[in-house]
C-alpha cells in the first residue's frame, strides 16, 4: 500500500495514521486475588447535594470517591471531572490487568493479522475432521478480544477516578453505536472505544465525529466499506445525519443524504494485510492508516452540493469538509446538547436548557466539556438530582460500587450477564440508534422484576464476581455489608420512611442488601 | 384464576403451583390479537414477489427470486421459497392474506422515526405524545383485554396510562425474589408511580413461569426443542392460549443493505426462521388458532431496485400479512397497482396505498366490533379499510 502523507487532511486522520503502537513485550497475565479493602474509618459528613452530584457524574456514589470529593470540595472535584488528568487513578492491579490485555499489547493491525491467519488456517481445513475445531478456536479468539474490551471498559467504570470521562465513553459509544454481533466487529470494538471514542469524549465534537468516520468498526457496521462510485450505499450517510449529527426532521433532504453518500465513496477498510490490488489512481492518493483505506478509485470525484454548500470533488478532503459542515450545523449543536441533557439531567429536557447548551456548543466550537459546564450550572440540573431513572448499566455498575467500593472484582462475566438480562448488553445493541435513555424504556414490569433478581444476587455475595472463571469451588466472598458503609451513612438521611421501614425488617445482611438495591431511591441517580 | 384476583392474592398466599391450565381462558368471543413487528424494514418485494412484473426482474438482476422458484400465490404474485413448508400451507388453507403497498405516510425513511410513527399511531406531522402507544390504547378500549409484550424492553406501542407487562421469553425461570421480600419491596413502592409496574412484574413472572414450565414438562418427551424465534413463538402460543389475548413481539435483522441473497442466503434464512416460528405458533395454539389473528408489519419497504452491493436501501411501501385460523386468507388484499417503473414512488420505492392504521383498524372493527368512536381514540381521524379479511 502506498501511504501518502496527507498534509491537507484533518489532524484526526493524521492521528489515525500514527495509531499507537507498542513495542513492550507482553507481560505475564495478572492473577488478581480477592482481598478486602479497608475503608478509611473517618465518617463522611458530605452534604446531600455533594453526594447527589457525585451520584450523577459518576457511575454511582461510593465511599472512596465521596471521601475524595469531600477533601477536594465539590467545585474542584467537578472541574477535575471536566478536565481529567491522564492518570485515571486505577488501583494498581486493575491498571496492570488492563495493560496486560492482548488488546493493550498489540496494535489493531497485529491483532487483525493474527485473527485473519487463524481464519485462513481454519478455512484451509475445510472438509477435514479438524475443520470444526479450527472454526471454534477462531470464534473463541474473536469472543476473547471482545471480552477483553468489555472487561477493560467495565473495570474503568467501576474504579477509575475520572468517572465522568468513563460515563461519557459509554454515552458516546452509544451515540455512535456499533454492534459487536456484526461481521468481525468483535476484533475492532476495543480499538474503536479506545482510540476513536475515549480520547475525544470531553473534547471537540468534530474530532469525535471525524474519528468515527475513519474507524473500521463504523465503516463496517454501517456498510460504507461497500460504498463506491457506481455502487452507492447510502446507509452510513443517512445515519450520520439522522443519528450522529443533525437529527431527523432537522431540515436536510433525501438529496443531502445521497450527496453525503457520494462524498463518502471510497472510504473503507483493508483487512487483508496485503497492499490493495488496485491500479494506480490518476485522481489522487490512496490514504491508508491501520485498517482504514481511502481508495480514490472507488471515489466519486464530481462536485457535490451538500446542505447548500458546494463541495468540490477532491477525494478525502471532501469528507473532511463534510464533517466540518455537519459539526458546525446549529441542528447538530441542538441535537447533541439534547442527548447530553437527556443522559445527564432528565427525560424530555426543556427546550430553554437545550438551547443554552447549544449556544455554548456554537460559541466553543463544539467543546463538549463546555456544553456540560452549562448543563451542570443550570437550575434544571440541580432540580433533577436524584430523579433520573438509571438505565440497566447504571443500575448494575452503581450497585457494585455501592456494595463493594474499591474492592476489585475478579470476573466481569456476572456483570455482563446481568446487562444481557436487563436488555442492555455492552456493545450488543443491534441497530445504530443506540439504547434509549428514557425511564419508560426501562421501567416496565418485567424489567423491574429482573432488577430485583439481580439485586438479590448481588446482595447474596456469591454471584461469581470474586472468583476467577477457571476456579472451581465456592466463592470466598461473603455478602457485602452495604448498610455498614460510609456511603450508606451519607445517603441514609435521604431515604423515605417506607424504605427505612423495609430495611429494618430485612432479616440478615443479604436480605438488607437486596432491599436496599431494590429500593425506589436506588433506581434513580 | 383471573389476574385481577391474582394480583391481590399473590400478596397474601404462596403460589399454588400445579401443572395444567391455571387460568380461565379468555372469553371465546374476544379473539386473540398478536402483532409481529419486523424491525429493520424487511425487503417485502423479495418475499411476496411480483412474478408477473418484467420490471421486477430488470430492477433486481442479482436479487430477484427466479420465476420457477417462487411459490404460486396467483398469476401476479409468488411467495419466497423459504416459506414453502411453513406459511405456504397456511396460504393453501386460506389462513393467510398478504397486503402489498402497505405502510405509513411517514416519509423520513428513518427506521427509528418510522417505527415510532407506527407504534405511536398518531398523525404524522403533529406533536408526538411518547407516553401513548397504539397497543396501549387498544388495551384501554377493549374490555377484558389481557395485554403483554413478549420483549425484554417495553416497546413504545405499549406505553400508556396503565402499565402493561413485558416478559423476556428467554428468561422464564422460577422467580428468585419471593415471599417476604416481595411484600417488603412492594411496600417500599407503595404510592409511587412505579408501584403498579412492580406489582405486575412479580405477578407476571410467576404466572409465566407456571404456564411455561407446566407446558414444557408435558412436551419434554418430544425430541427436538425449538430455538431462536421458533422457541419464542412456541412460548407466545402457550401464553396466548392460556392467559393473554393481546400480544406483541418484535423480530430484528432485516436491514439488508448488503448481500441479502435471493432464493437462498441471508434474507432467506431470516424469513425461513420467522415463517417456521409463525407456523409453530399456529400449530401450538391448536383449536385456539381459529380464534387468533396475527398481523405482521414492518416500518417500510426497501428500494425496488437493488443497490450496488447486492442489497437494498430504505424505501417506502411494504407488504403486511394477516393470518389466523378464521382469517379470510388465500388472497392478495387491499388497493393495488401494477408493478411497473412508472408506478414507483419517487422513482425508487413501492407506493403506500394501504395505511397501517386502516388495516389494523379494520381488524379491530371486525373482530371486536369497535365502533368508530372507540377506533378514533386508537387511531385519530383514520377510516378503517374494509379489506374483507375477517
Q: What is the pLDDT of residues B236-291, one digit of tens each?
A: 999 999 889 999 999 998 999 999 999 999 999 999 999 999 999 999 999 999 99
Min Cα separation B162/chain A (Å):
11
A493-511: pLDDT as tens digits: 999 999 999 999 999 999 9
- Supply the DSSP string of B340-366, one letter for each residue: SSTTSBTTTB----EEHHHHHHHHHHH
Rounded to whole angstroms, how far apart are CA atoms A116 and A138? 9
Q: What is the mean pLDDT of chain A?
A: 90
Transcribe A332-397 into DSSP letters. HHHHHHHHHHHHHT-SS--HHHHHHHHHHHHHTTSBHHHHHHHHHTSHHHHHHTTTSBPPHHHHHH
Query: For residue B166, which residues of chain A lie inside 8 Å, CB to CB?
Result: 444-447
Nearest to A498 among B109, B188, B200 (CB): B188
pLDDT for the residue A44: 63
d(CA B176, CA B368): 38
CB contact at 8 A, A267 and A233: no
CB contact under 8 A, A233 and B164: no
- Cα A445 to Cα B163: distance, rounded to the nearest angstrom: 7
| Out of A421, A422, A444, closest to residue B154 by CB | A444
User: How far is B94 from chain A, CA to nearest CA, in Å?
Assistant: 35
**Confidence band (pLDDT; 50, 70, 90) for A42?**
low
Q: Smallest CA–CA separation between B165 and chain A, in Å?
A: 5
Q: Are B63 and B260 in contact (CB under 8 A)?
A: yes
Q: What are the Cα distances from residue A53, in Å, to A157, A361, A525?
A: 17, 23, 9
Residues of B in contact with A250 (CB under 8 A): none
Q: Which residues of A touch B175 (CB under 8 A)?
A: 449, 453
Task: Give the phi and the psi of residue A367 in degrees, each rounded to 5.
Answer: -80, 115
Which chain B residue's Cα is nearest to A230? Answer: B308
Quick one: average pLDDT of A297-316? 96
ipTM: 0.90
- What is the rounded distance in angstroms from the CA atom of residue B83 to the CA atom of residue B97? 14
What mean pLDDT comes out for the span A410-436? Answer: 94
pLDDT for the residue B266? 95
On whether the CB atoms of residues B356 and B103 are closer than 8 A, the answer is yes
Three-state DSSP at B297 gives: strand
Whether A389 and A439 have beta carbons less than 8 Å apart is answered as: yes
Among the partner-chain residues B181, B191, B257, the one whose CB lies closest to the CB of A223 is: B257
pLDDT tens digits, residue range B106-127?
998 999 889 999 999 998 877 7
Nearby residues of A25 by Cβ (< 8 Å), 6 or more positions away: none
Which residues in chain A have Cβ-Cβ distances shorter than 8 Å to B154? 440-441, 443-444, 446-447
Kindly state the helix (H) or strand (E) to which residue B78 belongs, with its residue range.
strand B78-79
Separation of alpha carbons B169 and B234, rounded Å: 10
| Cα B305 → chain centroid | 27
* A449/B201 CB distance under 8 A: yes
pTM, 2 dp: 0.85
User: Residue A516 and residue A522: Cα distance in Å, rounded?
Assistant: 7
For an interface test with A, which of B185, B244, B270 has the most A Cβ atoms less than 10 Å from its Cβ? B185
User: Which chain B residues touch A249 with a CB distance below 8 Å?
Assistant: 108, 113
Q: Are strands B147-149 and B246-251 parallel, antiparallel or unpaired?
A: parallel
pLDDT class for A15, splitting at 50, 70, 90?
very low
Taking CB atoms and an 8 Å limit, are A446 and B154 in contact across chains? yes
Residue B204 to residue A449, Cβ atoms within 8 A? yes
Q: For chains A and B, count residue pairs whose Cβ atoms are closer than 8 Å.
A: 167
Q: Which grid cell sits at A213? A: 468516520
pLDDT at A498: 98
Using an 8 Å Cβ cutoff, are A67 and A38 in contact? Answer: no
Does the distance separating the beta carbons of B39 and A242 come in below 8 Å?
no
Q: Which residues of B touch A422 (CB under 8 A)?
A: 152
CB-CB under 8 Å, B154 with A440: yes
Nearest-CA distance A440 → chain B (Å): 7
**A400 and A458 Cβ atoms separated by less than 8 Å:** yes
- Contacts with A235 from chain B: Cβ below 8 Å: 255, 257, 313
**Secondary structure (3-state) at B334:** coil
Beta bridge partners of A309: A306
Which positions in chain A touch B10 (Cβ < 8 Å)?
A: none
Nearest-CA residue of chain B relative to A253? B108
Q: Which residue of A has its CA nearest to B346?
A: A254
Q: Which of A232, A248, A501 sits opposite B308 (nearest CB)?
A: A232
- Among A430, A440, A518, select the one facing B185 at the smallest CB separation: A518
CA dihedral B370, B372, B376, B378 (to 10 degrees): 10
> Among residues of chain B, what percentage have pLDDT more than 70?
90
Chain B residue numbers with beta carbons less than 8 Å from the beta carbon of A248 are: 108, 110, 112-113
Burial B316-326 (b: 16+ CB within 10 A, else e): bbbbbbbbbbb
A523 chain-B contacts, CB cut-off 8 A: 194
Contacts of B112 in chain A (CB under 8 A): 242-243, 248, 431, 433
Query: Looking at chain B, which residue has its C-alpha nearest residue A232?
Result: B308
Which residue of chain A is at minimal alpha-carbon distance from B192? A520
Per-residue pLDDT of chain B (390 residues; tens, 9 = 90+): 333 333 333 333 333 333 333 334 445 556 899 999 999 999 999 999 999 999 999 999 999 999 999 999 999 999 999 999 999 999 999 999 999 999 999 998 999 889 999 999 998 877 788 889 999 999 998 888 899 999 988 899 999 888 788 888 877 788 999 999 999 999 999 999 999 999 999 998 888 888 888 776 665 554 456 778 999 999 999 999 988 999 999 999 899 999 999 999 999 999 999 999 999 999 999 999 999 999 999 999 999 999 988 999 999 999 999 999 999 999 999 999 999 999 999 999 999 999 999 999 999 998 888 888 889 999 998 888 888 998
- Measured between alpha carbons, how far is A230 from A270 in angstroms, rounded to an integer? 20
Please choose, from the candidates A448, A525, A512, A523, the residue with its C-alpha nearest in 3D space to the C-alpha of residue A479: A512
Q: Based on DSSP, count helices (H) and strands (E) in chain A, helices before strands.
A: 25, 5
Contact at CB, A249 and B194, closer than 8 angstroms: no
Contact A431 B40 (CB under 8 A): yes
A146: Cα separation from own chain's centroid: 13
Amino acid at each position: 500500500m502506498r501511504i501518502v502523507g496527507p498534509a491537507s487532511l484533518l489532524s484526526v486522520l493524521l492521528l489515525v495514521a500514527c495509531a499507537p503502537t507498542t513495542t513492550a513485550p507482553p507481560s505475564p497475565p495478572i492473577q488478581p486475588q480477592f482481598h478486602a479493602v479497608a475503608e478509611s474509618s473517618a465518617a463522611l459528613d458530605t452534604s446531600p447535594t455533594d453526594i447527589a452530584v457525585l451520584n450523577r457524574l459518576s457511575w454511582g456514589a461510593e465511599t472512596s470517591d465521596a471521601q475524595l470529593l469531600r477533601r477536594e470540595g465539590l467545585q474542584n472535584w467537578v472541574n477535575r471531572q471536566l478536565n481529567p488528568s491522564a492518570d485515571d487513578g486505577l488501583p494498581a492491579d486493575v491498571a496492570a490487568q488492563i495493560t496486560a490485555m492482548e488488546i493493550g499489547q498489540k496494535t489493531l493491525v497485529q491483532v487483525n493479522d493474527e485473527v485473519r491467519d487463524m481464519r485462513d488456517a481454519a478455512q484451509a481445513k475445510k472438509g477435514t475432521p479438524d475443520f470444526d475445531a479450527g472454526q471454534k478456536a477462531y470464534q473463541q479468539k474473536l469472543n476473547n478480544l471482545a471480552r477483553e474490551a468489555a472487561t477493560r471498559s467495565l473495570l474503568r467504570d467501576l474504579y477509575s477516578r475520572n468517572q465522568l470521562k468513563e460515563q461519557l465513553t459509554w454515552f458516546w459509544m452509544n451515540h455512535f453505536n456499533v454492534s459487536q454481533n456484526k461481521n468481525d466487529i468483535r476484533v475492532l470494538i476495543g480499538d474503536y472505544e479506545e482510540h476513536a471514542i475515549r480520547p475525544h469524549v470531553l473534547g471537540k465534537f468534530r474530532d469525535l465525529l471525524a474519528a468515527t468516520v475513519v474507524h473500521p468498526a463504523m465503516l463496517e457496521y454501517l456498510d460504507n466499506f461497500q460504498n463506491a462510485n457506481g455502487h452507492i450505499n447510502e446507509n452510513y450517510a443517512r445515519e450520520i445525519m439522522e443519528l450522529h449529527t443533525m437529527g431527523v426532521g432537522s431540515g436536510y433532504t433525501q438529496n443531502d443524504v445521497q450527496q453525503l453518500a457520494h462524498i463518502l465513496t471510497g472510504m473503507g477498510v483493508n483487512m487483508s494485510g496485503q497492499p490493495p490490488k488496485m491500479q494506480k489512481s490518476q485522481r489522487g492518493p490512496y490514504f491508508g492508516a491501520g485498517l482504514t483505506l481511502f481508495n480514490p478509485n472507488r471515489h466519486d470525484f464530481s462536485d457535490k452540493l451538500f446542505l447548500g454548500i458546494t463541495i468540490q470533488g477532491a477525494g478525502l478532503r471532501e469528507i473532511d469538509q463534510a464533517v466540518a459542515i455537519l459539526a458546525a450545523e446549529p441542528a447538530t449543536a441542538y441535537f447533541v446538547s439534547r442527548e447530553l441533557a437527556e443522559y445527564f439531567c432528565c427525560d424530555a429536557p426543556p427546550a430553554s436548557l437545550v438551547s443554552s447548551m447549544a449556544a455554548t456548543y456554537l460559541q466553543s466550537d463544539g467543546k463538549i466539556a463546555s456544553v456540560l459546564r452549562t448543563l451542570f450550572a443550570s437550575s434544571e440540573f440541580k432540580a433533577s438530582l436524584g430523579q433520573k431513572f438509571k438505565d440497566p448499566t447504571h443500575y448494575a455498575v452503581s450497585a457494585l460500587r455501592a456494595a463493594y467500593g474499591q474492592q476489585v472484582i475478579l470476573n466481569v462475566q456476572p456483570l455482563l450477564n446481568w446487562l444481557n438480562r436487563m436488555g442492555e448488553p455492552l456493545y450488543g445493541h443491534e441497530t445504530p440508534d443506540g439504547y434509549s435513555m428514557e425511564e419508560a424504556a426501562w421501567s416496565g414490569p418485567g424489567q423491574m422484576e429482573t432488577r430485583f433478581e439481580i439485586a438479590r444476587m448481588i446482595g447474596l455475595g456469591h454471584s461469581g464476581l470474586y472468583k476467577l472463571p477457571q476456579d472451581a469451588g465456592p466463592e470466598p466472598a461473603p455478602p457485602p455489608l452495604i448498610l455498614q458503609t460510609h456511603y450508606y451513612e451519607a445517603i441514609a438521611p435521604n431515604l423515605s420512611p417506607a424504605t427505612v421501614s423495609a430495611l429494618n425488617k430485612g432479616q440478615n445482611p443479604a436480605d438488607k442488601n437486596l432491599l436496599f438495591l431494590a429500593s425506589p431511591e436506588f433506581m434513580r441517580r | 384464576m383471573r389476574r385481577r384476583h391474582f394480583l391481590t392474592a399473590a400478596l397474601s398466599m404462596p403460589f399454588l403451583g400445579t401443572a395444567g391450565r391455571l387460568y380461565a381462558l379468555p372469553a371465546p368471543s374476544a379473539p386473540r390479537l398478536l402483532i409481529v413487528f419486523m424491525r429493520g424494514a424487511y425487503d417485502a418485494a423479495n418475499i411476496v414477489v411480483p412474478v408477473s412484473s418484467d420490471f421486477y426482474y430488470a430492477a433486481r438482476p442479482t436479487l430477484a427470486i427466479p420465476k420457477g422458484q417462487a411459490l404460486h400465490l396467483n398469476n401476479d404474485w409468488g411467495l419466497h421459497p423459504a416459506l414453502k413448508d411453513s406459511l405456504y400451507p397456511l396460504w393453501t388453507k386460506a389462513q393467510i392474506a398478504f397486503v402489498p403497498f402497505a405502510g405509513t405516510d411517514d416519509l423520513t425513511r428513518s427506521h427509528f422515526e418510522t417505527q415510532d410513527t407506527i407504534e405511536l399511531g398518531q398523525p404524522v406531522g403533529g406533536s408526538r405524545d411518547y407516553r401513548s402507544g397504539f397497543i396501549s390504547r387498544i388495551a384501554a378500549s377493549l374490555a377484558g383485554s389481557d395485554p403483554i409484550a413478549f420483549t425484554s424492553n417495553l416497546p413504545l406501542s405499549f406505553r400508556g396510562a396503565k402499565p402493561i407487562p413485558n416478559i423476556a421469553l428467554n428468561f422464564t425461570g422460577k422467580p428468585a425474589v419471593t415471599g417476604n421480600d416481595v411484600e417488603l419491596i412492594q411496600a417500599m413502592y407503595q404510592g409511587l408511580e412505579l408501584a403498579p409496574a412492580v406489582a405486575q412484574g412479580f405477578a407476571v413472572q410467576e404466572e409465566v413461569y407456571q404456564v411455561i414450565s407446566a407446558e414444557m414438562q408435558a412436551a419434554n418427551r418430544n425430541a427436538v426443542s425449538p430455538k431462536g424465534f421458533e422457541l419464542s413463538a412456541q412460548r407466545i402460543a402457550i401464553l396466548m392460549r392460556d392467559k393473554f389475548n393481546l400480544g406483541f413481539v418484535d423480530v430484528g435483522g432485516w436491514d439488508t443493505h448488503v448481500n441479502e441473497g435471493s432464493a437462498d442466503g441471508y434474507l432467506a434464512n431470516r424469513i425461513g426462521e420467522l415463517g417456521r416460528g409463525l407456523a409453530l405458533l399456529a400449530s401450538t395454539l391448536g383449536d385456539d388458532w381459529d380464534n387468533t389473528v396475527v398481523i405482521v408489519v414492518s416500518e417500510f419497504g426497501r428500494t425496488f431496485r437493488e443497490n450496488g452491493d447486492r442489497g437494498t436501501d430504505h424505501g417506502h411501501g411494504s407488504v403486511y400479512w394477516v393470518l389466523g385460523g378464521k382469517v379470510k386468507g388465500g388472497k392478495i388484499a387491499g388497493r393495488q397497482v401494477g408493478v411497473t417503473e412508472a408506478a414507483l414512488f419517487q422513482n425508487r420505492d413501492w407506493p403506500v396505498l394501504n395505511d397501517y392504521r386502516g388495516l389494523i383498524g379494520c381488524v379491530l372493527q371486525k373482530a371486536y366490533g369497535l365502533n368508530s368512536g372507540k377506533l378514533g381514540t386508537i387511531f385519530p381521524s383514520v377510516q378503517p379499510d374494509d379489506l374483507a379479511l375477517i
